[in-house]
Structure 1
């Protein structure tokens, strides 16, 4: 299997807890908080580890919170490489209201980046990449970073022989889809796809047509579009498929997309066909939603769910 690296430019120290009722006014007595390293690529690396694989997380960490993120990753058996970043790594906070099951997620911004910060980080990441590596660029962008940065970084890594998988949103997704960034994989959810298309989400067949169109115009070799609990549509030049998960009890949707990217990339890196890798990813996403907070997926649950995933041509 090819080596997998992940890139997280806006990591977070994620704190999570629960309380019976969330209401304004008085103090809310919460359970003991849990701390987890967060951010798109960070969670992809964590999920790969939980699934029995290995990856190298490249993390733009800064300050005490950044060191806490790196320390937590090391405690999980990963060997992160710190990418210099300005300011202080952001902190996020989530609370589950136990009487209703509702989850409240509070997300803070990171410190602004300069053009010099962006170039230094891109140069360090590029220096770590070798031909044949798989590189997952995932997560939000720090303030100040240009929307075309993920696409530009992907082109830079692809020029070094890497296979790049990009999971982003908003203007960064639009740039990557339009510019031809040399991507092996482009992943988005149905809301992001609708924003990109300028039209509301349609049936799976419409999603598949959009994925195929993106492949045909060179946005990526493989395009995956998640449709929430319904599953994920995946397309390449050879065809398109709809991978459906079994029904599971949803505890928290946090980390489902990152768990998908972890398993999907693992499958592709070991040579699986896109539909088979997608089925693995869908099983991982389904496993992730059965866990609380940011605990992602686990290999045992994924192994139980994978035979129940269907992959049908569209």
Structure 2
């Protein structure tokens, strides 16, 4: 039985390519496309594998894109369990304009998902004989999956005593937080909504984070700050920050998922919470070094983590 499970209900087949000059109305000749499995939880599982850990990715998959997703995960030796859906899984497109070095990302909406499909994940999680240590629910919800899907996972987590980590946004985040999550990872833009505010002044961010904890919405709050690292908030130790070294950025794609992967591995290894966030920030920073949609690399992650340890 896997001790770490990731859940993705809106996966994507990510296609990336490049062109020398992107202009409107002209036929753009592109390089041969590269295909990668994508979607929040799937990327977390892929990053966990790259960092030397093991997990099982649970996701919905339909049509030829869903078949390709599974083939790609087999190639990466990532364990998974896929629920077949009637409608095709979505495809995303990323194009790099080589002439100016800019990246264009086209995200497609998910297809209509039926109750008998997404409920298979709920039912299986409820009935697992061996309870996992950590479940990571990550990414957006496709049409047909209710806003309280992550809330339903939280109910199961509290009933079956495993630790749930949620990385999502909007109504799905707010409803999940009403059931008390082990760890939430909003970004700065998502934090105000957790505190039921429209916006938060940067100087008030720490007070808002502690308010979220006091209201019982989660036990641990990690607010991602982009290239400035992350803020950790716990009731026991209050607020602390992890600031990564400056690195030459290739692409920020996959940084958030790599960060979550690093944190869950840190938790599994028994790190204290500040080191958990340091390892997560190291993995997230490592992902920004890589080109395109490539996730973190283990060597880069370990090097940045050692730097963070030396600069506590």
TM-score by length of 1: 0.92
1:95 corresponds in structure 2 to 95
1:186 counterpart = 2:184:
yes
- Gap regions ≥5 residues in structure 1: none
- 3-state SS of paired residue (2:186): strand
2:252 corresponds in structure 1 to 253
1:81 corresponds in structure 2 to 81
- Alignment RMSD: 2.0
Distance 1:122 1:229 in 2: 35
Between 74-83 and 44-53, report the one with greater CA deviation: 74-83
Distance 2:192 2:101 in 1: 28
1:225 corresponds in structure 2 to 223
Kept after mapping to 2: 8 A contact 1:8/1:59:
yes
Alignment of 1:123-138 (within 5 A): 123-128=123-128, 130-138=130-138
1:176 corresponds in structure 2 to 176
| Residue 54 (structure 1) shift | 0.6
2:54 corresponds in structure 1 to 54
Between 100-109 and 224-233, report the one with greater CA deviation: 100-109
Distance 1:196 1:161 in 2: 24
Alignment of 1:148-159 (within 5 A): 148-159=148-159
Kept after mapping to 2: 8 A contact 1:58/1:125:
no
| Residue 129 (structure 1) shift | 6.9
Distance 1:90 1:221 in 2: 34
- 3-state SS of paired residue (1:44): helix
Evaluate the alpha carbon distance shift between residue 298 and residue 267 of structure 1 in structure 2; reply closer, same or farther with a 3 A threshold. same
1:215 counterpart = 2:213:
yes
| Residue 116 (structure 1) shift | 3.2
TM-score by length of 2: 0.93
Q: How many residues align?
A: 309
Kept after mapping to 1: 8 A contact 2:19/2:95:
yes
Distance 2:67 2:126 in 1: 23
- 3-state SS of paired residue (1:5): strand
1:24 corresponds in structure 2 to 24
- 3-state SS of paired residue (1:81): strand
Structure 1 outlier segments of 4+, above 4 Å: 310-313
Distance 1:248 1:129 in 2: 44
1:295 corresponds in structure 2 to 294
| Residue 105 (structure 1) shift | 0.8
Kept after mapping to 1: 8 A contact 2:192/2:208:
no
1:285 corresponds in structure 2 to 284
Kept after mapping to 2: 8 A contact 1:275/1:311:
no
